[in-house]
Amino acid sequence: IVTTAKGTEVLFLNSSEIPTVSAKIIFGGGGRLESVDKMGLTEMLNRTLVTQTKTKSESELLKAIEDCAAGISAFGGKNTTGFSIDYMTPFEKDIIGLTKDVVNAPVFSDEIYNRERSVLEKQILAKQDQPSFLCGRQFNQTIFAGHPISFDQSGTAETLARITTNDVSQIYNHIKSEKNMQVSVVGDFNRSAWMKLITDIENGFQSKGKRLEKAPFRTLSENKTVFQEKDKEQSHVIVGWQALSLTDPDRHALEIIQAVMAGQGGRLFIELRDKNSLAYSVSPIKMESLECGYFGGYIACSPDKVEKALKMFHEEFKKISTDLISEEELSRAQKYLIGQHDIGLQRKSSICNLISFDHFYGNDIHESMNISDVYMKITREKVRDLAEKIFSKNYVTSIVGRK
């Protein structure tokens, strides 16, 4: 890890057996910088950021990237915005030049913005007829009421209409600031060439300061149920509890709970679908963010089975809170999680994602790279105690379907 004079942390991981490189340029920000009347601002930034520069039109930029058999794309979520770069080492000089152009000299044209907004508006309209989406949105808005992580990442037709190309340009210049950028490079790369690129990017900064400040967060003071009527064959149901943050030391034990509940061999599938024929689809759900996250269950079932499904959800979550899971369940979950982790580490892009976001949020990247030791130390008692801690809290029930 190298830190530049302007405060940019750079993570280098050399892997030269295959001449490819995966890199991430991350800025703090994302959806947590949006206001409720301009939801979707980060999404519009993602869609317009890698489209045109001061030296290249959209078609010229896309052709230049394709000629290098590479990928340069923007990403953005609840907490971050940035760029993903993947290329073959022989094209490094060209890709670094294109990356500099995209990061330091993007052009946000009204023509491209209006085109992308029109596409997004159609996608938003299509989702209004998807009960599963409506159920999840309703759940988020209730369990994290007023907090930025409850906002729709895509925004709404009304909020998008309030966003201009100037808003997009301003938010990008706001996050592109000193001490708010982190760069990770994994593969067969030229270190000095990347350090030169980072210096060139830093010279384009217009402000200082980290854009990852925590937002005020309220715990649930009571159980809440929200319902939206939708005349569909299936009712969609979520029951969930406020859970852990991205840096909580218990987050790996929560992954064990999720693995015990998930899949065709998991408790929810066996109890609610196999034994009781309640579900078309059933699974645990989990999310973690800076301040908090959630854990719970989702089910799509016949409207007349909603009440029983909810009862069984609570039974299963109470059971794991009071009784130790079996040695077999713990072993299965540990092996599954370790296997998925190790498979992911076969790809440089996965390694880059892992070390980039873990370090950015303050987690130990060495622990993350060798996670098998962490999983194997988790005991049945730890799982039970964490489940009791989470599932004894107030919860939210979200239902979309027939009355």
Per-residue pLDDT of 280-306, as tens digits, reads 889 999 999 999 999 999 999 999 999
Strands 177-178 and 207-208: parallel
**Residue 107 and residue 54 in contact, taking contact as beta carbons nearer than 8 Å:** yes
* DSSP sequence for 217-268: ----SS-EEEEEE---SSEEEEEEEE--BTT-TTHHHHHHHHHHHSSTTSHH
The tens digit of pLDDT for each residue in 44-85 reads 999 999 999 999 999 999 999 999 999 999 999 999 999 999
Could you give the percent of the chain with pLDDT greater than 70? 100
Average pLDDT over residues 173-188: 95
Q: What band does 209 get if pLDDT is binned at 50, 70 and 90? A: confident
Give the pLDDT confidence score for residue 369 in this predicted structure: 87
Q: Which tokens in the block code for residue 4?
A: 């530049």
Give the pLDDT confidence score for residue 16 in this predicted structure: 87
Rounded to 5 degrees, what are φ and ψ at 28? Answer: -70, 145
Q: What band does 239 get if pLDDT is binned at 50, 70 and 90? A: very high
Q: What is the mean pLDDT of the chain?
A: 94
Read off the amino acid at residue 212: L
Long-range Cβ pairs for the range 277-283 (8 Å, 24+): 278/305, 278/308, 278/309, 278/312, 279/309, 280/234
Question: Please, is 382 exposed, middle or buried when counting C-beta atoms within 10 Å of its C-beta (0-12, 13-18, 19+)?
Answer: middle
**Residue 87 and residue 67 in contact, taking contact as beta carbons nearer than 8 Å:** no
CA dihedral 103, 108, 112, 115 (to 10 degrees): 110
Read off the amino acid at residue 349: S
Give the pLDDT confidence score for residue 346 in this predicted structure: 86
Q: Which of 13, 20, 24, 185 is nearest to 89 (CA)?
A: 20
3 state SS of 99: helix
Give the pLDDT confidence score for residue 281 in this predicted structure: 87
pLDDT score of 171 more than 90:
yes
Give the pLDDT confidence score for residue 272 in this predicted structure: 86
Give the pLDDT confidence score for residue 247 in this predicted structure: 94
Give the pLDDT confidence score for residue 120 in this predicted structure: 96
**Residue 199 and residue 4 in contact, taking contact as beta carbons nearer than 8 Å:** yes
42-56, 209-223, 224-238, range with the lowest pLDDT: 209-223
pLDDT score of 179 more than 90:
yes
**Residue 243 and residue 254 in contact, taking contact as beta carbons nearer than 8 Å:** yes
Give the pLDDT confidence score for residue 263 in this predicted structure: 84
The tens digit of pLDDT for each residue in 97-145 reads 999 999 999 999 999 999 999 999 999 999 998 999 999 999 999 999 9
Give the pLDDT confidence score for residue 271 in this predicted structure: 87
Q: What is the pTM of this model?
A: 0.91
pLDDT score of 279 more than 90:
no
Give the pLDDT confidence score for residue 8 in this predicted structure: 95
Q: Which tokens in the block code for residue 329?
A: 């369940």
pLDDT score of 231 more than 90:
no
Could you give the percent of the chain with pLDDT greater than 90? 87
The tens digit of pLDDT for each residue in 352-403 reads 999 999 999 999 998 888 899 999 999 999 999 999 999 999 999 999 998 8
**Who's near 40: CB < 8 A, 6+ residues apart?**
34, 120, 152, 153, 154, 155, 156, 159, 160, 163
Q: Which tokens in the block code for residue 191?
A: 């270190």
56-70, 174-188, 197-211, 374-388, range with the lowest pLDDT: 197-211
Give the pLDDT confidence score for residue 278 in this predicted structure: 82
Question: What's the count of helices (H) and strands (E) in the chain, helices before strands?
Answer: 16, 13
Long-range Cβ pairs for the range 367-372 (8 Å, 24+): 369/345, 371/252, 371/337, 371/338, 371/341, 372/338, 372/341, 372/342
Rounded to 5 degrees, what are φ and ψ at 57? Answer: -75, 175
pLDDT score of 335 more than 90:
yes
Average pLDDT over residues 220-244: 95
